[in-house]
Structure 1
Amino acid sequence: MIVDLPSTTTSQVNKKLVELRESGGAVALGRVLTLVIVTSDGAEVEPALQAANDASREHPARVIVVAAGARQAAARLDAQIRIGGDAGASEVIVLRLYGPLADEGAGSVVPFLLPDTPIVVWWPSDAPDYPAKDPIGALAHRRITDSAAEEDPIGALRARARSYVDGDTDLAWTRLTSWRALLTASLDLPPFEPITAATVTGAGSSPSTDLLAAWLASYLEIPVRRVEHSRGPGIVSAVLERPSGNVEIVRPDGRSGTLTQPGQPDRTVALHRRDLRTCLAEELRRLDPDEVYENTLPGLTDIVRGEEPQETGTQEAPEQAEQAEQHT
């Protein structure tokens, strides 16, 4: 069910929510958190809501979307309430703010926050340079950004590192979970030798590639080269150097990779890019600070950028590269 409330007030929206709760039974109960989605472009609303609705099946929530409209317009609040099949396992409130109200998102959100539940704020793109000091971000226990969706992904990532506060995270980091798990598991097999150096290769605009290199530099305390690869989408490979032979994961097509290590047969491993819904659901599972992410950020200054590798027979077809996303 979708209910539109044009030219309304927060009081009228809350009143309508109560009416819907009374007429629909328990559709508005059982929420475990409040998810606030802040968008600066109306086109972002539906994709972000789809990801939130899918994630809500694991994390029932009240979802509040703040969409800034034209600042030159007269002050106006247009609202929309979605429940039932149009809201997944959540209830959704979309607030479109016009004129002077476009800069008053925090004041518009506060009347709809669920009492005694954690608050998570997510910027699908165009996040503030200092999320914790943003008026809406200051309300939250967790703040989710996505540097890969920014106009300058690497610059945005470095801004996040400078402004980090407990509770901050980035979906560019969440996309690394499979890579980190595979690399960690590979070191649990013999020979048990120290890693002396590492090389991480990926697209120049991929913040996930930078974060993977920084993670290795921070936790292994080794020199790490970050190589730009213009023809490979996202992360292309990670190589860990050790005396008896290298551990290598190579993913040329953005879908599956090959794990190579001394004394073991080559293995094909699933390394599909993680979709937005999966990444968001993972971040909503934890509401405490991510210490590993925090400890990784300083490593961004330790990685050394290298030259693009020579072209080999493992390069993906041009048409595959054009279809693949460039940031993961």
Structure 2
Amino acid sequence: MIVDLPDTTTSKISKSLVKIREEGGAVALGRVLTLVIVTSLGEEEDAIEAANDASREHPMRVIVVSTDAHDDGSTGRGARLDAQIRVGGDAGASEVIVLRAYGAAASDQEGLVTGLLLSDAPVVVWWPGAAPDDVSASDLGRIATRRITDSSNQENPKEALLKRAASYKPGDTDFAWTRLTLWRAQLAAVLDQPPYLPVTAIDVSGASDSPSTLLLAAWLRHQLKVPVAYGTLSRAANGSSGIHGVVLTRENGPIELVRDIPNVARLSQPKQPTHDLALPRRNLRDCLAEELRRLDPDDLYGEVISQGLAELLETNDSAGDPV
């Protein structure tokens, strides 16, 4: 069910939620958190679809704050708030409140959502697109337990990662990191097998627009404390805009995990048969569901973004390698 509330207020939205609950039986019982999605006008639906899918694992209230990215409220344009409430089959296992704010109404995002938050429930804020330089200091970031960004959707992913590193606070995370889960698990599993020889050098390659590749290199540099050569490829090099491969050099030979074609990686190790592994690029739903499984800070991400990234860039810059 979808209920449209044109030119409304937060108070009217709250009353409408109560009415829907009483008349239709939709309840907030079992909601474990409030997810606030911050988007530009007209760019809401992909994020809402991902949240609806993730809500089947994490029942929640979803509040979408949609504003004109080019209107900071100082233009003198009349303030207006249009809302839409979605429940039942249109909202997965959640209830979705879409707030489309115009003019001065868009300048106070915290005020828009405060009266709609579930009481005594954690607040997670997600910026699927453009995000503030310092998300923890933003209006919505200050009230959030977790703050999710996505550097891959920025015009300059590397610059976006550097901003995340400079402003990192516990509770921050980035989907560029979440997309590494399968790669990190596979590489850790390989190194957890005999002959347990130390890694002496690492080579990581990926598309030039892939912040995940940069974070993977930073993670390996931080965890293994060995030099990491980082190279970029064009999208056409492997049909993917993400990670291409990792080569770990040990005394007995290299371990190679290479994704030459989308979704499938080839694992080769000394004196062992070559294996093909499923290694797809993770979608929004999978990334969001994983991040919502934990509401405490991701300490490893914090170390990699604030320490490992600097270690990687310093080493490669001094060596003249492209990053």
User: Which interval holds the TM-score relative to the shorter structure?
Assistant: over 0.9
Contact 2:26 2:88 in 1 (8 A): no
Equivalent in the alignment of 1:51: 50
Q: SS state of the match for residue 43, structure 1?
A: coil
Q: SS state of the match for residue 265, structure 1?
A: coil
Q: What is the aligned counterpart of 1:299 among 305, 308, 312? A: 308
Q: How does 1:139-288 map to 2 (within 5 A)?
A: 139-230=143-234, 231-232=237-238, 233=240, 234-288=242-296
Output one character per residue of 1:171-205: Cα deviation in whole Å (capped at 9) or x when no partner: 00000000000000001111110111101000111
Q: Measure the CA separation in 2 of the matches of 1:54 and 1:169.
A: 20
Q: Measure the CA separation in 2 of the matches of 1:95 and 1:145.
A: 20
Equivalent in the alignment of 1:4: 4
Equivalent in the alignment of 1:25: 25
Q: Measure the CA separation in 2 of the matches of 1:28 and 1:6.
A: 23
Contact 1:228 1:307 in 2 (8 A): no
Equivalent in the alignment of 2:106: 102
Equivalent in the alignment of 1:311: none
Deviation at 1:99, TM superposition (A): 0.9
Quick one: which amino acid aligns to residue 42 of structure 1?
A: L
Q: Measure the CA separation in 2 of the matches of 1:159 and 1:242.
A: 34
Q: Measure the CA separation in 2 of the matches of 1:160 and 1:280.
A: 18
Q: Measure the CA separation in 1 of the matches of 2:321 and 2:127.
A: 33
Output one character per residue of 1:20-66: Cα deviation in whole Å (capped at 9) or x when no partner: 01112243321000000001x22320111000000000000000000
Q: Measure the CA separation in 1 of the matches of 2:23 and 2:144.
A: 31
Quick one: which amino acid aligns to residue 225 of structure 1?
A: A
Q: Measure the CA separation in 2 of the matches of 1:26 and 1:45.
A: 23
Equivalent in the alignment of 1:87: 91
- Give the total of aligned pairs: 307
Output one character per residue of 1:149-174: Cα deviation in whole Å (capped at 9) or x when no partner: 11111110111011100000000000
Q: Measure the CA separation in 2 of the matches of 1:9 and 1:294.
A: 38
Contact 1:145 1:170 in 2 (8 A): yes
Contact 1:125 1:145 in 2 (8 A): yes
Q: Measure the CA separation in 2 of the matches of 1:135 and 1:42.
A: 19
Identity of aligned residues (%): 58
Contact 1:105 1:136 in 2 (8 A): yes
Q: Measure the CA separation in 2 of the matches of 1:182 and 1:126.
A: 31
Moved over 4 A (4+): 305-308
Output one character per residue of 1:117-156: Cα deviation in whole Å (capped at 9) or x when no partner: 1100000010111000001111100000000011111110
Q: Measure the CA separation in 2 of the matches of 1:188 and 1:164.
A: 31
Q: Measure the CA separation in 2 of the matches of 1:101 and 1:286.
A: 32
Contact 2:67 2:106 in 1 (8 A): yes
Quick one: which amino acid aligns to residue 216 of structure 1?
A: L
Q: Measure the CA separation in 2 of the matches of 1:179 and 1:225.
A: 17
Deviation at 1:307, TM superposition (A): 6.4
Is 1:61 paired with 2:70? no
Equivalent in the alignment of 1:320: none
Q: SS state of the match for residue 61, structure 2?
A: strand
Quick one: which amino acid aligns to residue 21 of structure 2?
A: R
5+ long unaligned stretches in structure 2:
none
Contact 2:26 2:87 in 1 (8 A): no
Contact 2:229 2:321 in 1 (8 A): no
Cα RMSD for the two superposed structures: 1.3
Is 1:75 paired with 2:75? no
Q: Measure the CA separation in 1 of the matches of 2:22 and 2:130.
A: 38
Contact 2:32 2:59 in 1 (8 A): yes
Quick one: which amino acid aligns to residue 134 of structure 1?
A: S
Q: Measure the CA separation in 1 of the matches of 2:26 and 2:105.
A: 32
Quick one: which amino acid aligns to residue 145 of structure 2?
A: H
Deviation at 1:254, TM superposition (A): 2.3
Q: Measure the CA separation in 1 of the matches of 2:233 and 2:155.
A: 19
Q: Measure the CA separation in 2 of the matches of 1:56 and 1:143.
A: 17
Q: Measure the CA separation in 2 of the matches of 1:209 and 1:272.
A: 14
Is 1:35 paired with 2:35? yes
Q: Measure the CA separation in 2 of the matches of 1:254 and 1:157.
A: 24
Q: SS state of the match for residue 121, structure 1?
A: strand
